[in-house]
Amino acid sequence: MIAVLTGDLVDSTAMPAKDYQCAVNIMNDYLAKCQTRFAAKGEIYRGDSIQLIFKQPQHAMRAAIELRSLLFSTDATQAPLGITLSVGLGEQLIDGNKPSVSQGSAFTLSGRGLDSTPSGHISLHHEGGAFYDALVLATQFLDNVLYSHTQKQARVLFHYLSMNFPTHTQLANALSTSQQNVTKHLARIGADLIKAYVVFFEEKLNKESD
């Protein structure tokens, strides 16, 4: 089993050219980091869409949350950047160097899932059984929490995940703020529950992919 993460920028055609370029740059930079951190393969296509293949599927949802938070938290654009994201769990029948030349159920599930995902939200799609149905439901709760975050909260969450759940002091140093401020933000974004979801997702899918 692999995971495919597919995403489309929200209202990209209506963005000022500067904001659009900023969004593309963020996606390109994050794609490169995923290639190093998770050994993922990916590309940007159609100008405003991104797709990543995770041979280790447990990393896909962390990447989805990070990418959404990273785009939304930027203060370099006139308005917050949104992205619609779909994770598909399935097989890869044709293994290409890029998603565009690869095929399999994971790609179909991710692509079709993106079409049915509300704008700016995250969804999970699979071809498994009852366990994955429960994981889809948990992901819907996660998405509801993420969608309520402010830009400042999204920035804190991105660093919290990308630093792999650091201490409040470590996170405060990374964000150049106080520990008290970090603790307040983490409590308000439901960081403990988000961490529990990510850890559960990664542990269970790691076993499934062995």
Domain boundaries defined on the chain: 2-148
Q: What is the pLDDT of residue 93?
A: 63
Q: Phi then psi for 163, rounded to 5 degrees?
A: -90, 5
What SS3 state is found at 210? coil
Distance CA 89, CA 110 (A): 8
Burial zone of 4 (CB within 10 Å; 0-12 exposed, 13-18 middle, 19+ buried): buried
pLDDT for the residue 46 = 84
Give the DSSP H/E element, type plus range, for residue 204.
Answer: helix 191-209
Which superfamily, per CATH, for 2-148?
A: Nucleotide cyclase, GGDEF domain (3.30.70.1230)
Helix (H, G, I), strand (E, B) or coil at 90: strand
CB 86 within 8 A of CB 5: yes
Tell me the mean pLDDT per 10 residues along the chain, length 210.
94 93 96 94 89 95 97 94 96 62 80 94 91 93 94 96 96 95 94 96 81
The answer to whether residues 12 and 69 touch, using CB atoms and an 8 Å cutoff, is no
**210: nearest Cα among 41, 58, 35:** 58
What pLDDT does residue 131 have? 87
Question: How many Cβ atoms are within 10 Å of 132's Cβ, its own excluded?
Answer: 17
Question: Tokens 């400042």 map to which residue?
Answer: 152
Closest listed residue to residue 107, CA positions, set 34, 4, 196: 4
Please list the residues that pair with 86 across neighbouring strands.
Answer: 6, 123
